[in-house]
Structure formats: structure tokens, C-alpha cells
Structure 1
């Protein structure tokens, strides 16, 4: 019985090359997020795939070519072993041809039993090697395992690849001798595999060098190609840093003309960005003009309403104090006229103040001790709201800032009035002044333990005419401008105001810089 024939070295090599190529294609890699990284990675991956394909195809083609040469060489050996046609079996040892000259180094041979296909008792297996002996060769008997593997080749006259234990892979062919036994001759495949292995190592080194060089070249070329995009990104960043949400905005930032060439993709992006910036600039200019007209209208309307409101209040008071006898209904109507005209006058004054602050007019600055301002404001609030508990938390040292005393006092009055108006009786309101910090800023906190501000209303608490719930209504005398004035006045002083609220704790924090006073540039 013939032993199973192992797969040929050519098939194993093709499988190994295919596995290596598949491993390259399936190799997981952390894909970078930047465009530059993705382009470089794509270039390197494409170079690696091309190198792998070329290397695999070259190695497979060389292996096939060398194996065909080996098969032709094996056919010559088989022809010499069989002898000339019709000459009959060679006299003496049928494997004697192996020790004669002309056989390649490492040639093996065996005599197979015609009946069983296995090595018979009289079969002799020899190997030609360099060394002492006739023709400079030696012959030695193969082991039983080697003989069994060698004689297990099918007797079909075609070459097969067989692994001989201890000797490696051989190409073996069975040849029939006229009137004699079946001879099995074989040649080692080590020259073929050695040459191919050397080629694979060289290809790996060359491919790795090529991939590294391709990566460096791709990184440089991509960096150069993406330079216009980086300039566009810097332009967009400068635009994003502009205060576009208020005031007059001069949107002069544009992409350089060199990056707006419509013949290139990046140039088209740059030109589109410039068109967009132009549209945004026009929209911002139109918005500023509209806001300016509204502010001018509010200011003009406020000035015009001052006189008639003062006249209404004066005539109502004069009528109520006159000598003529008037009924209770008339006296009540006159008192309501005075009350509503006073509220309208207060609203007009608040609108005028906001209009002046919106124009960006600087405030008249002087040295102000916030501790004294807070003490005065809390005293006034205690008189206006005796049903609340008022507390002070003051530093031991003065907290001096540079600002307008009247406007800063109005900030404190509005915050305390907001706490008094929108919290029930018995609520504790605390005004706290912190000493200047390392950054040169003073913080004032007005906190209460009332029900808090609804979360949905909290982002809009500093907007004009904002009322969070029914309690923030005209019934409580609120115009919805108090906190808007707080933010406007604090902003005019270069400070900030924030709020944090939850049930049981609402804290308004005003932060003011402790800058040295300068000459007054204007009045508000």
C-alpha cells in the first residue's frame, strides 16, 4: 500500500504567501481622525498592499520557474537511470548509476517491488554526497522510514513532492526499466526553497524600506497640500473668537486670495468661505443697524415720555390736594394714576439706562468701597422688606474697586429687591463680600434660601422683560428689567454676574475687577 503523498512545497508556499497577503489586508490599525493622518495612512496602506502583491507574485513565479527546472533535471536523472530504450536492465546494481558521474548532489534512489510498490528485501537505496570514493561521491543506505516515504510515490511517471524524514522535501519520479524493476529517483527541493526564501527576505526588507519612504513622502506632500486648509482653519478660528453676539462687528477676516483659486478643490472651499463670511458680515451689519434704530427709538421715546408722565403725576397730585370736595372713588382713581405714572416713570428710566449702556458709553469711575455700599443697600432692603431676615457677611479689610458708586449701588439694590420680591416672607437673604483674590477681583454674593428659580427659566434670568412664573408679574411691581440692568452695569465695569439656583438656595455672584481708577471718559 502506498503512503499518502504530502502536499507539494509549491502548494504550501502559495498558501503561505496568500496568508501573508491576507494578514496585511486584515491587519487592524487605529485609524487617525485627522484628514492628514487618514491620507498618509491610505498612502502607506496602498504602498504596502502593492508591495505585498508584487512580492507574492514574484515569489510564486520564481518558485514555479525553479521547480520546473528541477523537474526537467529530475527527468534527465530518470532518463539516465532507465538507460537507452531496448537496452534492458543494467547489469549488477540497478542503482549503480548514482555513484557514477553526472548526477546532482543529493540525488536519491530506490528500487521498488513491482508487486507491492514497496521496497523489497533486495532493494537498495543510496544517496550521492561529496566525499571520498569513486568519482568523489559516497553512497549510503536510507533508513526504513525514508525508504518507505520514497517508495510510496505513485508509479505514474510524473514528479511528486515527498518529505523524506531527516532529508527534507524531494521531487521524486518513478521510472520503469525495460525488463527490470521500477526505479524511484529524487532530487532535493532545498535549492529551490532556499532561493525563494532568500528572495522573500530581500523583498520584505525592500518593501519595508519602500513603505517607510512612502510614508515620509506622503506625510510631506500631504502637509504641503493641506497648508491652505490650515490657513482657512486659522481664519475661521479668528472669526469664531470675535464677539458676534452683540455690538457693532466689523467682520474683516477673509481667506487669503492665494487660497481661493477656483481651479483647485481647496481654492473652491476658500472662495465659498469668503462668500459665507461676506454674507455673515452683511447680516451682522444689518442687525447692528436694526438694533441701533431700536435703541434710538427707545431713547427718544423715553425722553419724550418723561415730560407727560411728570405732568400726569403732577396734575393728579394737584387735583387730589385741591380744595374741591371729591368722592372716595375719585380719590382712589387719582391714587392709582399717581402709582401707575410712577411705575411708568421708573420703567422709562430703566429703558433709558439700558439704552445708554447698550451704546457702549463708559461709566464715570472713582474709588468705591463695596463694603459700605453693601451695608447701605442691605439697610434699605431691611426697611423695605421687614418680613425677611437680612444678614451681612463682610471681610475685615475694605474691598475697593474702581467704578460708578450710583450704578454699583443700583446693582445691589436690584439684586436685593429681586430676592425680596420673589421669595416668601421669612426667607433669609445674605449679602456677602469677599476679599480681593489673587487675580485682583472682588466677589459679591446675594443668596437666599427661598424656593429657587425654575430650571427652565434659569438660562433666561438676565434677559429683558423676563418673568419666570406668576409671581414675577406686575402684581409684585416687577418690570422684568432689574436683572438685565444688573448684567449691563456689571458688564460696563468689566465684570461678570452669574446665578446658581436650586430649591432652598439661590446665589447671584457679581465679580468686579480691582483696577486702578482712570480719568472719566464719559457719564452714564
Structure 2
């Protein structure tokens, strides 16, 4: 299969060849018409002069003598005894029968006899006002006739071989120039097509590289940013970027899902194993002491609650991953902070607690989601800090955003633990809890269009800052 470059080259060459042929044909026809018109004009002018000046036979005799003399003095007149001389013009007078007339002592030359013999009806030629075609000794001529007042017919013929030879030379010149022009066009078209189609070749190479697994490959820029090819390159690169992003997102989601399923399976296996173990002990009758049965039953209930809480958190994360539509309405964040502080005081009356939430701070948000954020943050404080560690809750509006801070003076986190605090099922130091609380906090905050940050210093406490849009 021929390439697009070769097809473009052949199409351009064929179109130019057609144009050259048409232009040559038109120019040759025009030149031939112009040259023959010049010959016809001279013959017509001579005929008109004969008819309008009223020449006598004596004048004709002098003209005939002059024609014979010129014919005799031609360069090849002495070398051709049996063929006709090669003069450009032939002038002969004929009688009523079409025979050449001997004028004085001068007899007609073979060329004049040939002209008289070639004309079948001199009277008909004399009656025609337009020149006619005739052939003498294989050469083309143009001929006119004129009838004098005394009945003598004069025939005049002019050779047109110069016209034909000029046309042939023009054809050869046009053909040579056309061949050179076609060759030059073919070379320039190949070079131009290679340059113009290079972006398409780059696209093919890029597509092949991507098919082999190199998703970072892009089509390089060309030197003609305004062409359709450059627009195609930009669109293709944009599409490849979207494809790469979608592939990375899918791979990341797949990895997260695998890790999530593995972690969930691991977390659910522990309470299920405990419940199964206690049930097997009860089934085999090994729990004979009422105190042991009570303790086993308490453990089964505790593990069941733990598993139910874990499943609830997993469902919450699953809903956040699906980007649910939150129920936004005006919410006083200060009131939520004060409610959360009251809950903490009831649960841990001995813990020092400072609340900085004076005045109403209204935002558009989902109230249940924000209550869950506060509950998870304070739940981490209860689980991971001593009861005597001071806690500070604060909310403020600044620079078009609302910031909610929960700070404690507990043991804090190590740098490597702080970097993974939002990972699912991550528990710093293997501590208690499901490891999903901070992941849920981040999911809810991101669903509100905000962000959450953690600042910590080992041994000096932990500060969690939630930033939400104020609109």
C-alpha cells in the first residue's frame, strides 16, 4: 500500500502535468493561429493590391520575370534539376485551362508548374477571398488567386514550413521545461509532505509506545502551532492525559480497594474469631461456672458491638467514596463545638477543657457530618491521651474561611505516624480503635470542599485544624 506522502506527490504531479499539457496546447494553437494569420494577411494584401491597382499583363510579365529570376538565384536551384526549388513564395499566371503562361522569353519554372498543376480549378480559387491550404513537394503552403481584367488568373502561394518548424521547437521547449518542472515539483512535494506529515508519524510512534505500556508518552510539538495538525496534537495530548489520569485513578482505586478489603477482613476476623471461640466453648459445655458464662457472654456482646461499630464506619466510608449529596443548610458551628464540649465534660469530668467559640459562626454545611467530625476528633483524644491532658476547642472565621481546631497536650505522634494518620485502619503504635476515625474525618471535610491538617510534636501534643469554606 502506497503511503500518503507518495499519493500526495503523485496527485500534485498529475495535476501539474495536466495543467502543463493544457497550457502548452492552448499556447501552440494560439501561436499557430497568429503565424498563419500573418501569412494569410500578406497573401490577402497582395491579392487586394492586384485587384485594386488594375495591373496589366505587361506588369504581370515583369513580375513573373522577377519571380523566375529569384527562383533561379535560390541557393539550391542549380543542384535540383528534377525537384522543386525551396523558395518561400511562388507566383504564377495561368490561362483559362489552368496552364502556366510563358511570359516573354521566360518559361515557367518547375515549381510554378507544380503550383499550376496542384490547382484543379483556378477560376474557383480566384473567386475565393480567403487563402486555402495546398501542398507543394510535400511542404504545406497557403494560396490565394486573383483574376485580372484581361481574364488572366494569377496564383500566389506562401510556404508555411517555418510556422510548423517554429511550433515544433516550441513544443520541444515546452516539453523539456514541463519535465524539469514536474521533477522539481515532485521533489518539493516529497520534502514538504515529509515535513507536514511528520506530526502524524509522531502520533503513530506515540500511540505505539502507549500501547506498549508507556502512558507518559506524548506527541512532541511541531513548528506550526496554527495548523490543523497542531490542533490535533493538542487534542490528542489532552486525551492521553485524561486516559493516563483515569488509568492511574483506576489503579489507585483498585489498590485502595484491595487494601481496604484486606484490612476490613483482618479487622472483622478478630471479633468473629472471639465470638466463635466463646460459642464453641459454650457448645461443648466447658463454661460450667456461671461467672465464666457471664464473662463469656459479656465478651461476645462486646465483640459484637465492636464488629457492628466497625461495619457502620465501613459503610460511612463507602458512602463518602461515592460522593453523596450532603444536606447543606445554615449551621452554627459554635453551637456544635459547645455541644461536643459538653459531651466530653460528661464523659471525662476531670479533663481540663477550654472552649473558644464565642458568638455564632454560621456556615452552609451538613450538620450530621460536622457532628461526626467533632465526635471522631474528641474520641481520639479520649482514647489516645491521659484524662488529665488539657484539651482546647476553638472555632474562628478568617480570610473567607472557617477554621475549627482541636488541640490536646497529650503524647502527640511521631512524624512517620502523622504522615499516615488519615490512612484507613492505621493505628499509631498499634493502639485501640478501628483506625477509621481520621479517615472518616478527612472524607467528610473533603465532601464539604475543605481540608484537614495535623500538627504534632512528640511529647508536646497534637493539633487538628479543619478548614471549611465560609459561604
Which bin holds the TM-score, normalised by the shorter protein? 0.3 to 0.5
Query: Larger Cα Rg: Structure 1 or Structure 2?
Result: 2
Greater percentage in helix: 2
Give me the TM-score of the superposition, normalised by structure 1.
0.42
